[in-house]
Amino acid sequence: MVAPTFEFATAGRIVFGVGCARKLAEIVASLGTRALLVTGARPQRFGALLGSLQTAGNVVDSVAIGGEPTLTQIEQAVERARSLACDVVVGLGGGSPIDAAKAIAALVPNRQPSRTYLEVIGLARPLEHPALPVVAVPTTAGTGSEVTRNAVIKAELEQVKVSLRHASMLPRVALVDPELTVSLPREVTADCGLDALTQVIEPFVSRLANPMTDGFCREGIVRAARSLVRACSHGDDLQARSDMALASLFGGLALANAKLGAVHGFAGPLGGMFEAPHGAICARLLPGVMEANADAIRRVGGSAQQELLGRFTEVARLVTGRADATIEDGTAWIREVCAALGVRGLGAYGLTSDVVPTVVEKAAASSSMQGNPVALPQEVLAQILTAAL
């Protein structure tokens, strides 16, 4: 079979390893003289690292993002960065601060109203000017945001998560140090890890999967499967933490170049409408989406569909470690892991059956849904969502 045509783009430089975060001040200084630092709600967890940045003397302001970055927060931070003539942005934290850093860096030099560039609620026009350089330092292992070209932002008015996307938003440097994740609580480790697992499975079965992303996904699935529960129960296990940091990184590399699928198609509107952990949403929906996709592919039939079914079977064998595993074994394994980690039904976060049609309508229009291996009718999407209540 002739290899498919594809492109691959990622951060300008990826630095991985225990202790590599000590290079942060040096890297930031090489990219600019007036840095805006974007952190999570508790930056004091990384006092020594922040101290080295302050000693270097090129951080002129900081912004704390406590949860999903909102459009209002981003716009306020952009005005501050412009007024201080910032020329580099550092994102230190989970996916939310890193996404915020990328969005701020994109909008500082682009002065049209922010909705000009936003997908779904805006015009989705490309940036006129390249984004400022970003240094992304993840302190969780889940989103892979350190190597993606988009930022997810919560639009408060419309109650939906939307993306700001441009090639220049790929971080100039991704600095991935598993040691920064050791202090994460079990619940956060589980939430992020379930997101990482989903993000190495969905691109593998995506309609835009390619040989390069396949390698990242296979390696990421194996590492997440063997270390997710271990990282939750033994947070100081650096081997497990390294596996999850790599799974997250590989998921980011894959999704940025092969898209995601129906799980993340649902996660966007659900995250905008309800206060629910993103990874928990993904984990609760993943088995049902996998089963619905497999059923739809079986109904179509044909050699291409058999090859696609083989990918779902391979996922099952990778997560279970069994050469004879079936697709059903794989979804059962995911459900067992969710139960072990205490993942609750989506009804616990406020989702009710009467809201299902609204969520399905929003999900069907999402960009992630375009990567799903088959088109799922809205009645099937509704069944998946209802089963996850």
Give the CATH number, domain containing residue 376.
Answer: 1.20.1090.10
- 198 and 159, same domain (yes or no): no
CB 264 within 8 A of CB 282: yes
Residue 326 in any domain: the answer is yes
- 70 and 201, same domain (yes or no): no
More confident site: 54 or 282: 282
pTM of this prediction?
A: 0.95
* Domain termination residue (choose one: 137, 161, 180): 180
Q: What is the DSSP letter of 275?
A: -
The C-alpha atoms of residue 130 and residue 166 are separated, in whole angstroms, by 9
Count the alpha carbons within 13 Å of 235 in the hemisphere toward its beta carbon. Answer: 13
Beta strands in the chain (DSSP E): 14-16, 35-39, 59-64, 88-93, 134-138, 150-155, 160-165, 173-176
* Domain termination residue (choose one: 128, 160, 180): 180
Q: What residues make up the domain containing 214?
A: 183-387
Q: Please state the domain count of the chain.
A: 2
Residue 9 in any domain: the answer is no
| Helix, strand, coil percentages, rounded to 5, for the chain | 60, 10, 30
Q: How confident is the model at residue 1 (pLDDT cuts 50, 70, 90)?
A: low
302 pLDDT above the threshold of 80: no
- 127 and 39, same domain (yes or no): yes
- 221 and 169, same domain (yes or no): no
236 pLDDT above the threshold of 90: yes
Mean pLDDT of 220-238: 97
- 230 and 369, same domain (yes or no): yes
Residues 6+ apart with CB under 8 A from 148: 170, 252, 255, 256
Cβ burial of 362 (10 Å; 0-12, 13-18, 19+) is: buried
Structure tokens at 2: 């002739």
Structure tokens at 358: 């609204």
pLDDT at position 162: 87
- 107 and 194, same domain (yes or no): no
Q: Order the strands of the 14-16 sheet from edge to edge.
A: 14-16, 173-176, 134-138, 88-93, 35-39, 59-64
CATH number at residue 73: 3.40.50.1970
303 pLDDT above the threshold of 90: no
Residues 6+ apart with CB under 8 A from 300: 374
- 367 and 329, same domain (yes or no): yes
Residue 343 in any domain: the answer is yes
* pLDDT tens readout for residues 326-367: 999 999 999 999 999 999 999 999 999 999 999 999 999 888
Q: Which of 237, 225, 233, 255 is nearest to 341 (CA)?
A: 233
Residue 4 in any domain: the answer is no
Residue 54 in any domain: the answer is yes
Q: How confident is the model at residue 96 (pLDDT cuts 50, 70, 90)?
A: very high
Tracing tokens 């969502």 back to the chain, one arrives at 385
- 141 and 165, same domain (yes or no): yes
The C-alpha atoms of residue 229 and residue 226 are separated, in whole angstroms, by 8
Residue 69 in any domain: the answer is yes
Residue 8 in any domain: the answer is no
- 378 and 318, same domain (yes or no): yes
- 128 and 196, same domain (yes or no): no
* pLDDT tens readout for residues 154-180: 998 888 888 999 999 999 999 999 999
CB 149 within 8 A of CB 11: no
The C-alpha atoms of residue 95 and residue 196 are separated, in whole angstroms, by 11
Mean pLDDT of 217-245: 98
Q: What is the DSSP letter of 318?
A: H
- 343 and 374, same domain (yes or no): yes
* Domain termination residue (choose one: 125, 155, 180): 180
Q: What is the DSSP letter of 118?
A: B
Residue 2 in any domain: the answer is no
256 pLDDT above the threshold of 90: yes
Torsion sign (Cα): 8, 9, 15, 21:
negative
Mean pLDDT of the chain: 94
CB atoms within 10 A of CB 57: 11
- 225 and 115, same domain (yes or no): no
Cβ burial of 103 (10 Å; 0-12, 13-18, 19+) is: buried
